């Protein structure tokens, strides 16, 4: 962040704080809940919002009903408890249109706290599932549509076909501003509803939603007391080049090196056969790798000795997989696309297209078509790996990347939990590891340990899924650290985040270990139970 942008962010934060105090969160607030009823909900529709312009504000009491789901294109969320549903459109300026929903538990359920989240990918839709999850935990819960309407990885919203120009205000809203705007508006409306401000505010998101969390940490450090940011790819521009690099290994040269999905199971089996539970590489044969960087698998080990067959790779397929595992360095020696670790190839997001994409495949395709080259008909075959990644980075890094490594303003009062699955098939986990190391190099390891933790989770795909223990909940651990000073270091039951996965044999659990520690089996008891593991530093 440049000095001028940092000053601008600070000014916005100060103005927002002043506005919030003016609407019911001043120094005379003794924390007593004087509202929070169905009648207060109905009246909230008439609330004058002072922090940002809000249009079409509505507030409706919603009864608990399994027959009244909230639906977006990717998920359906069913409500099981009554609440106050607030909707509206917040505007950072005349061209900005950020649809938001604030779900408020009635007073007898509210925990006195506020939670924010956002959608992943390039989507322009409200993440009802996450909003509902936070509300079920008794938070006042806000979500938004990133300032546009779209699904998944589509970025046509960033382009105006009539003028053949970019919609810069929508781009800024999506990149970082929308989250701040709805956070400030959401806090103000929360205060108005309950008659007192929230005692604490937390953010929780993964993927692009995790990226929003990192933008909050860096640009608006006073918005939240704690942030959970999963698979957040702080270096978004390089992440796009990395996704493109992995995809083009499949469709280049007419798709000669493309690997059918069925063959990836063969690759995965070979990787586990070579490294899982092997001394000096991986400590336990459990179907996942503690750290895939220790597994020196070469796709050539599976190269066909004769004709192509289902259980081997052709020479072009070996080359394509090697390229994905190695990433790309340009002619000047600069890394412009990150590698992916072994073990990601069976993931749900791993590219399998054998032709140049005609529809979004990960955010990278529309990212290069629209924000970068402003050309819906862009020919990916013309991409120059020596010059175009730098062109894209120089153009969009100030807006898209959460690249600040000095997090001192946030660290003064906030706590940060980051996580990433080692088998993430969409966003290379190496991006997160490098960012973590950069923070520690800039601020010093001791200072970072006072406010931040990173968890690298074996076998977990993008945000969840995969062969690892990808089901976990971090908000409780975050609030304990913020409110009670209990750092989530996995040294006691109260300081341990337990992750789980349902298997054919039942449920597997593991402790999540602060990086670089890994979960080591104690040597007795079930290998499926977290209590039989301790977090230890890996052996060299």
Shared domain for 127 and 276, answered yes or no, is no
pLDDT classification of 238: cutoffs 50, 70, 90? very high
**207-218 tens-digit pLDDT:** 999 999 999 999
Q: What is the pLDDT of residue 124?
A: 87
Domain end, chosen from 180, 198, 216, is at: 198
Q: What is the pLDDT of residue 504?
A: 84
Residue carrying the six token digits 């959401």 = 186
Considering its fold, how many domains does the chain have in total? 2
Q: Are 460 and 422 in contact (CB under 8 A)?
A: yes
pLDDT classification of 479: cutoffs 50, 70, 90? very high
Contacts of 377 (CB under 8 A, 6+ apart): none
| pTM for the predicted model, two decimal places | 0.92
> Measuring CA to CA, which residue among 55, 85, 96, 84 is closest to residue 179?
96
Q: What is the pLDDT of residue 8?
A: 40
Q: Which long-range contacts (CB under 8 A, 24 or more apart) does 1-8 make?
A: 1/218, 1/219, 1/403, 1/404, 2/398, 5/219, 5/398
Shared domain for 313 and 243, answered yes or no, is yes
Shared domain for 258 and 330, answered yes or no, is yes
Shared domain for 93 and 151, answered yes or no, is yes
Q: Is the pLDDT of residue 526 over 70?
A: yes
**289-340 tens-digit pLDDT:** 999 999 999 999 999 999 999 999 999 999 999 999 999 999 999 999 999 9
Residue 340 lies in a domain: yes
pLDDT classification of 68: cutoffs 50, 70, 90? low
Q: What is the pLDDT of residue 72?
A: 62
Shared domain for 126 and 245, answered yes or no, is no
* Token output for 69: 């789901």
Shared domain for 253 and 109, answered yes or no, is no
Shared domain for 180 and 327, answered yes or no, is no
**430-445 tens-digit pLDDT:** 999 999 999 999 999 9
| CA-angle at 472, arms to 469 and 474, nearest 5° | 140
**370-425 tens-digit pLDDT:** 999 999 999 999 999 999 999 999 999 999 999 999 999 999 999 999 999 999 99
CA distance 153 to 140: 28
Q: Is the pLDDT of residue 27 over 60?
A: no
Shared domain for 28 and 174, answered yes or no, is yes
Q: What is the pLDDT of residue 11?
A: 37
pLDDT classification of 24: cutoffs 50, 70, 90? very low
Domain hosting 35: range is 1-198
pLDDT > 90 in the chain, percent: 81
Q: Mean pLDDT across the stretch 110-138?
A: 94
Residue 186 lies in a domain: yes
Residue 538 lies in a domain: no
Q: Mean pLDDT across the stretch 468-492?
A: 98
Q: Mean pLDDT across the stretch 274-288?
A: 97
Q: Reduced to 3 states, what is the DSSP secondary structure of residue 98? A: strand
Q: Mean pLDDT across the stretch 495-524?
A: 96
| CA-angle at 352, arms to 376 and 209, nearest 5° | 65
Domain end, chosen from 174, 198, 222, is at: 198
Residue 521 lies in a domain: no
Shared domain for 154 and 299, answered yes or no, is no
Q: What is the pLDDT of residue 76?
A: 74
Residue 228 lies in a domain: no
Q: What is the pLDDT of residue 71?
A: 66
Q: What is the pLDDT of residue 12?
A: 38
pLDDT > 70 in the chain, percent: 91
Shared domain for 193 and 253, answered yes or no, is no
Shared domain for 176 and 314, answered yes or no, is no
Residue 464 lies in a domain: no
Which carries the bigger pLDDT value, residue 14 or residue 456?
456
Shared domain for 145 and 291, answered yes or no, is no
Q: What is the pLDDT of residue 23?
A: 36
Residue 510 lies in a domain: no
Question: How high does pLDDT run on average in the chain?
Answer: 92
User: What is the SS3 assignment for 272-339?
Assistant: HHHHCCCCCCCCCCCCCCCCHHHCCCCHHHHECCCCCCCCCECHHHHHHHHHHHHCEECCCCCEEECC
Q: What is the pLDDT of residue 354?
A: 66
Residue 471 lies in a domain: no
Q: Mean pLDDT across the stretch 145-152?
A: 91
């Amino acid at each position: 962040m440049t000095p001028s942008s940092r000053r601008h962010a600070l000014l916005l934060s100060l103005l927002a704080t002043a506005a919030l105090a003016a609407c019911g969160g001043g120094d005379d607030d003794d924390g007593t809940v004087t509202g929070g009823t169905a009648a207060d909900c109905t009246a909230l529709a008439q609330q004058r919002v002072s922090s940002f312009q809000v249009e079409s504000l509505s507030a409706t009491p919603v009864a608990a009903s399994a027959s009244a789901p909230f639906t977006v294109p990717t998920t359906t969320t069913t409500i099981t408890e009554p609440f106050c549903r607030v909707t509206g459109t917040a505007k950072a300026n005349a061209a900005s249109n950020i649809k938001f929903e604030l779900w408020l538990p009635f007073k007898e359920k509210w925990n006195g706290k506020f939670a924010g989240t956002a959608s992943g990918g390039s989507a322009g839709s409200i993440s009802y599932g996450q909003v509902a999850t936070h509300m079920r935990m008794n938070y006042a819960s806000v979500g938004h549509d990133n300032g546009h309407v779209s699904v998944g990885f589509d970025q046509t919203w960033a382009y105006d076909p009539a003028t053949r120009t970019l919609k810069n205000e929508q781009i800024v809203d999506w990149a970082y501003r929308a989250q701040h705007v709805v956070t400030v508006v959401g806090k103000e409306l929360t205060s108005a509803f309950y008659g007192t401000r929230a005692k604490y505010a937390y953010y929780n998101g993964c993927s692009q939603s995790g990226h929003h969390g990192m933008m909050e940490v860096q640009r608006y450090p006073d918005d939240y007391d704690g942030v959970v940011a999963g698979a957040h790819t702080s270096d978004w521009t390089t992440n796009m080049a990395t996704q493109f690099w992995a995809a083009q290994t499949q469709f280049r040269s007419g798709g000669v090196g493309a690997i059918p999905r069925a063959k990836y199971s063969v690759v995965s089996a070979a990787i586990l056969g070579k490294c899982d539970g092997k001394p000096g590489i991986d400590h336990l044969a459990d179907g996942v790798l503690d750290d895939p960087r220790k597994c020196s698998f070469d796709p050539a080990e599976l190269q066909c000795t004769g004709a192509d067959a289902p259980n081997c790779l052709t020479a072009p397929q070996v080359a394509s997989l090697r390229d994905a595992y190695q990433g790309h360095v340009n002619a000047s020696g600069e890394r412009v696309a990150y590698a992916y670790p072994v073990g990601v190839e069976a993931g749900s997001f791993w590219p399998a297209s054998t032709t140049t994409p005609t529809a979004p495949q990960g955010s990278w395709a529309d990212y290069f078509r629209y924000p970068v080259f402003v050309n819906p008909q862009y020919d990916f075959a013309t991409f120059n790996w020596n010059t175009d990644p730098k062109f894209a980075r120089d153009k969009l890094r100030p807006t898209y990347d959460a690249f600040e490594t000095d997090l001192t303003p946030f660290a003064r009062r906030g706590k940060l939990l980051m996580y990433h699955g080692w088998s993430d098939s969409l966003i290379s986990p190496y991006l997160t590891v490098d960012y973590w190391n950069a923070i520690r190099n800039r601020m010093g390891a001791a200072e970072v340990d006072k406010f931040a933790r990173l968890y690298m989770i074996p076998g977990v795909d993008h945000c969840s899924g995969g062969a690892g223990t990808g089901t976990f909940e971090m908000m409780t651990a975050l609030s304990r650290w913020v409110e009670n000073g209990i750092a989530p270091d996995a040294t006691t039951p109260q300081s341990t985040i337990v992750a789980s996965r349902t298997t054919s044999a039942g449920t597997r659990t593991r402790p999540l270990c602060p990086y670089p520690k890994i979960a080591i089996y104690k040597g007795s008891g079930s290998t499926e139970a977290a209590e039989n593991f301790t977090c230890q530093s890996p052996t060299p």
